Amino acid sequence: MRTVRSVAELRATLSSARRDGLTIGLVPTMGALHRGHLALIGRAREQCDCVVVSLFVNPSQFNERADLERYPRDEQRDAELAAAAGADVLFAPPVQEVYPRGFATTVEVAGVSEHLEGAARGAEHFHGVATVVTKLLCMAMPDVAYFGQKDAQQLVVIRRLAQDLNLPVRIEALATVREPDGLALSSRNALLTPAERARALALPAALAAARALAATGERSAQALLDGAYEAMRPFGVRPEYVALVEPDTFEPVDALADDALLVLAARVGEVRLIDNAMLSPALSQRPDATPIPSQRLEGEAIATCSA
C-alpha cells in the first residue's frame, strides 16, 4: 500500500489504473479505523481493482472544537489496518491540501441537512460533510464510493449530492457493524470509560425495543418512539432525539406504513453517539438495517492495481 498526501500524487498514482480501464473504489474515513471501516474496505476490495482509502479528519464538519481536538488519531495503526484489509492507496492529506488559502466553496444539500443531526449539530455539519465528500470524489474520481448505514442521514446527503451534481460514481452502502452486545462500532467508542461503555448499550436497547414493538404489530410512530425512549431510561441515558423517518428523505412519519428508519442520538458522558435501525411493517423484523444489497461491477476484476 502506498501513502500519498497531495491531490497531484493521488492522481498520478491512479492514472495508469484509469488508463487501463481498471475500476477504482474509494472509502472515505476520518481514521481510528475499526471493523466497520474494514468491512467497507473489504467490500471495495471484492468489487474494485484499485482501492483507495482516504484518511482525513475534516475540521469543517465538527461543530464542537473539543470534539475535533479529542478525535482519536493514529495514522500508523490505520495504515497497517487499511493495508491488511486490502487497500492499495492511503490518501492522507494535510488540512491545507484540502482547504488551501482562499478556499471559498461550500456544497449545501438543502432539506435533509436541516433536521435531526443537522438541527442538533447545526446545518454546517452536513455542509462540511457534503463539501469534503464532493472534493474527495473529485480528487479520486472513483467508480464506486463506500459508506456506512451507521451514518444514515449522511448517506442520504451524499446520495443526493451525487445525483444532483451528476457525479459519475455509484454510492454503495453497507450495514452497520456491531459489537457482539449490539453497540454500533464507532471511532468515538474509544473515548468511553468502562462505565460509559456499559451505559452506551442504551442505544441498541432502544432500537431493539422499537423493533420488538413493531414486530407485535404496533404502527403508531409515537408508541414506537415512546418504547425506544423508555428502553433507554434504565441506562440513565436521555436521547438527544429519537425519530421515525422516511429512509430516503429523512422526513418524519406518523405511522409505520412502509419501511421506516428509527434514528437516535444520545450523549453518554462527553461522547455523542448515533445509531439507527430499519423498522418494517411486516410482522417479522429484519435483524439489522441493510438497505442496499451490494452488486458486483460489470467486467469484474482480472487485472490488478499497480499503485
Active-site residues, by number, are 37
Minimum CB distance to ligand AMP, residue 148 (Å): 2
CA distance 42 to 82: 9
Q: Using DSSP, how many helices (H) and how many strands (E) does the chain show? A: 11, 9
Residues 6+ apart with CB under 8 A from 129: 58, 61, 154, 157, 158
Minimum CB distance to ligand AMP, residue 27 (Å): 7
Give Rg (Cα) of the chain: 19
Which residue stretch of 119-127, 172-180, 272-280, 296-304 sits at the interface with ligand AMP (rule: CB under 6 A)?
172-180
Sequential DSSP letters for 243-281: EEE-TTT--B-SB-SS-EEEEEEEEETTEEEEEEEEE-S
Taking the least distance from each CB to ligand AMP, the nearer of 39 and 139 is 39
By the rule CB under 6 A, 135 interacts with ligand AMP: no
Minimum CB distance to ligand AMP, residue 184 (Å): 5
Minimum CB distance to ligand AMP, residue 149 (Å): 7
Which residue type sits at 143?
D
By the rule CB under 6 A, 71 interacts with ligand AMP: no
Which residue stretch of 69-77, 142-150, 248-256, 273-281 sits at the interface with ligand AMP (rule: CB under 6 A)?
142-150
- Grid cell listed for 268: 453518554
Q: CA nearest 86: which of 124, 53, 130?
A: 53
The owner of cell 441506562 is 235
Minimum CB distance to ligand AMP, residue 28 (Å): 6
- Which of 185, 213, 256, 271 is in the footprint of ligand AMP by CB under 6 A? 185
By CB under 6 A, the count of residues binding ligand AMP is 17
Which residue stretch of 88-96, 180-188, 202-210, 239-247 sits at the interface with ligand AMP (rule: CB under 6 A)?
180-188
238 to each of 150, 191, 241, 244, how far by Cα in Å? 20, 19, 9, 17
Residues in the site for ligand AMP, rule: CB under 6 A? 29-30, 36-37, 39-40, 147-148, 150-151, 174, 176-177, 184-187
